[in-house]
Structure 1
Amino acid sequence: MKFKQLLIGSVLWRGLYFFSVLLLNVLIARNFEASGSGWLYYITNNFSFILLLISLSIESGMTFFSSKNEISPAKLSTLSLIWSSLASILIGLLVLTVYNDPDKSESRQQFLFFTFTYVTGNLLTTFFCALFYARSSFARPNIILTLTNTILAISIAAIFYLEEGPGLQDLVLKLYMFNFVVQGVLLAIAYMSQRDISPKFALPDFQNMKMLFRYSSVAFIANILFFLLYRIDYWFVKKICVVCEEGDLGNYIQVSKVGQMFLLLPAIVAGTIFPRTAGGFREQVNMWLPAMVKGILLVYLSVLLVLALTGSWLFPLVYGSSFSEIYIPFLFLIPGILSLSGIALMSAYNSGKDRVSTNLKCCLIGLIFIVIGDLIFIPRYGIYGAAAVSSIAYVLCFAYLLTVFTRQYGVPLSDFFIPYRDDLKKIKKIFFNNAGN
């Protein structure tokens, strides 16, 4: 597939999926308000950490070895199904063990349903999306994800706007969680049908498993650190914020979600372009990485300035009146959002050049700063302090990656920030002159 077609397809289909996620987020926020949506996103954040631990980031190894045709898709598909099934059983046993109070039987059943659907569905989705993307197949998985999210969004809107009475939120929560299982199962069926996998399942042999675990172990450590870097502040706001009021957690998590919207373009660019350009010579690296970082920073700065001017009324208009506390934390987070967009590009480049240790050091710097800063500032300044600390931490991480790169390649730091006449030509060359494959 031509590189230009690959890039456009990636942006289009993953962009549509992202829009469906945004639509769901707005519906949940408006109907559950800050306190209810804060609770939902807090527990799903905890589930995401469980998901990360139980997956062992094996999907990174699947992507790598599937793209190189070193492990057959049939074996990786079988491994994905068995891994997800065993994880479901483990999660079920864990929940039944933890919730052993007979007086909490209803809560236990509900929590079991939430954990089972979220973890199992997202494991299947993570594994099979990785296998699709390893073959540069972006349309089919994202069509499935977008359609299921759209159907869910229509259902949620219909429930809240056409129905009245108690129990509606509980019904919506169950539909929301069950959607993850539907997505995972449909992706598994679509992938296995596409690859004409024999009904007789075959697992990777011992040597294959050894390769997978060896490759994925480093990614696992890095993913844990990145997860904590991006989300550990949720736990601090929940546990140590003595000045926080009801709804503050929901406001803060929504601020983070606004920031995460700006990671879409860097993630797509990094995932589509960098695997094909990471092997370039020094002159090529000097050209495309600073130009790409600078281009995204300039575009995002313009958007963020508009939001800074309009956010005080725009955020409550979109998410509902209970999210009136989003604006100030968002202002604090603007430098961090810009830094995260640069981090996404530069960390992907480091991974492509097998310099994961640089990314790990970057994460450790930011994580240590966040832990210390949150312990000091959240009890006194609440979500404002949390946003400011996270923003400074991301700036420090970006500064570290810039320092390492400029020293290694002798590139002036100004190349990442000062616009030049030929920048647009460089970016066009990056996207469309690398289209040999």
Structure 2
Amino acid sequence: MLGAKDLGYYAISVSIAEILLSVPDAVNLPFLPLHLGLNRKDAEDTAPVVIRHVLFIMILICLFTAIIGRYAIWILFGKDFSAAYMPLLWLLPGILSLSIFDLLKVDMYRNNLPGFVSMVSVLTLICNLILNYILIPIYGISGAAISSTVSYSLSTCILLCNFTRIAKFPYRDILVIKISDLVLLWSQFRHGIKKDK
């Protein structure tokens, strides 16, 4: 369905996306054992805070990538690879969704719902395959990126809905950054700068 050249462009877009996802991965790795070791109330109180922080930071990173992405591709790969920019833009909302997917998945595991996570993963795969079949012939590599973003967003939304149902938190408390969060982030940032001096 896609030629070798198109696959090369798409590979560049995916590579950049994977680099961006290393940021939430750095949070997910230590969060998993910590979260699983907490009692139910502490776990339910901690998860929304971590999700809000990660989501806020990833929104900034994705916006920055959208602005400088074309120039980054030019510098790293040359102007001949400019076609990788548009699928990268389409992947950014999916990256944003994936950035909190693993955090939500950890909470599903903690609530003894691994089967539910597996079901969502299968649904995501089926959705991705169907959308690829429909969109790639029409939109090419951008269609593949749109397919991925829709599939990732669907899986994250399903886990998020289940998380709010179990923890009884409003969506706002999970997704919208608070002033207290910004104060904490700023204090951590300043502490990090002072520590490096």
* Shorter-chain TM band: 0.7 to 0.9
Aligned-residue RMSD, C-alpha: 2.1
Task: Indicate the residue corresponding to 2:104 in structure 1.
Answer: 346
Q: Which amino acid in the other structure matches residue 329 of structure 1?
A: P
TM-score w.r.t. the length of structure 2 is: 0.85
Q: Is the CA contact 2:108–2:163 (under 8 Å) kept in the aligned structure 1? A: no
Structure 1 CA distance, aligned partners of 2:61 and 2:184? 22
Task: Indicate the residue corresponding to 2:78 in structure 1.
Answer: 320
The offset of 1:354, in angstroms, is 3.7
Structure 2 CA distance, aligned partners of 1:419 and 1:301? 11
Select 1:385's aligned residue among 143, 146, 163: 143
Structure 2 CA distance, aligned partners of 1:426 and 1:351? 28
In structure 2, the residue corresponding to 1:325 is in which secondary structure?
A: helix
The offset of 1:419, in angstroms, is 1.7
Aligned ranges for residues 299-338 of structure 1 at < 5 Å? 299-338=57-96
Task: Indicate the residue corresponding to 1:364 in structure 2.
Answer: 122
In structure 1, the residue corresponding to 2:176 is in which secondary structure?
A: coil
Residues 312 and 266 of structure 1: is their aligned pair in 2 closer, same or farther, counting only changes over 3 Å? closer
Query: Is 1:394 aligned to residue 152 of structure 2?
Result: yes
Select 1:288's aligned residue among 46, 54, 62: 46
**Larger proportion of helix:** 2
Structure 1 CA distance, aligned partners of 2:82 and 2:124? 28
In structure 2, the residue corresponding to 1:341 is in which secondary structure?
A: helix
Q: Which amino acid in the other structure matches residue 339 of structure 1?
A: S
Select 1:405's aligned residue among 154, 158, 163: 163
Q: Which amino acid in the other structure matches residue 318 of structure 1?
A: L
Structure 1 CA distance, aligned partners of 2:106 and 2:77? 32
* Percent identity between the two aligned chains: 29
TM-score w.r.t. the length of structure 1 is: 0.40
1:303-357 Cα offsets, whole Å, 9 max, x none, are 2112211222221211233321111111111110000111122223333444211
Structure 2 CA distance, aligned partners of 1:326 and 1:298? 25
Q: Which amino acid in the other structure matches residue 258 of structure 1?
A: I
Task: Indicate the residue corresponding to 2:194 in structure 1.
Answer: none
Structure 2 CA distance, aligned partners of 1:375 and 1:407? 33
Query: Is 1:254 aligned to residue 12 of structure 2?
Result: yes
Residues 277 and 424 of structure 1: is their aligned pair in 2 closer, same or farther, counting only changes over 3 Å? farther
Structure 2 CA distance, aligned partners of 1:298 and 1:268? 15
Q: Which amino acid in the other structure matches residue 294 of structure 1?
A: R
Segments ≥4 residues shifted beyond 6 Å: 425-428
Structure 1 CA distance, aligned partners of 2:170 and 2:101? 18
Structure 2 CA distance, aligned partners of 1:311 and 1:425? 29
The offset of 1:279, in angstroms, is 3.5
Q: Which amino acid in the other structure matches residue 263 of structure 1?
A: L
Aligned ranges for residues 144-223 of structure 1 at < 5 Å? none
Structure 1 CA distance, aligned partners of 2:37 and 2:142? 42
Select 2:180's aligned residue among 391, 408, 422: 422
Where structure 1 has 5 or more consecutive residues not aligned to the other structure, the ranges are 1-239, 429-437
Q: Which has the larger radius of gyration?
A: 1
Q: Is the CA contact 2:62–2:92 (under 8 Å) kept in the aligned structure 1? A: yes
Select 1:269's aligned residue among 9, 13, 27: 27
Structure 1 CA distance, aligned partners of 2:152 and 2:43? 23
Q: Is the CA contact 1:366–1:397 (under 8 Å) kept in the aligned structure 2? A: yes
Structure 1 CA distance, aligned partners of 2:184 and 2:37? 18
Structure 1 CA distance, aligned partners of 2:90 and 2:69? 13
Q: Is the CA contact 2:107–2:163 (under 8 Å) kept in the aligned structure 1? A: no
The offset of 1:425, in angstroms, is 7.3
Q: Which amino acid in the other structure matches residue 301 of structure 1?
A: I
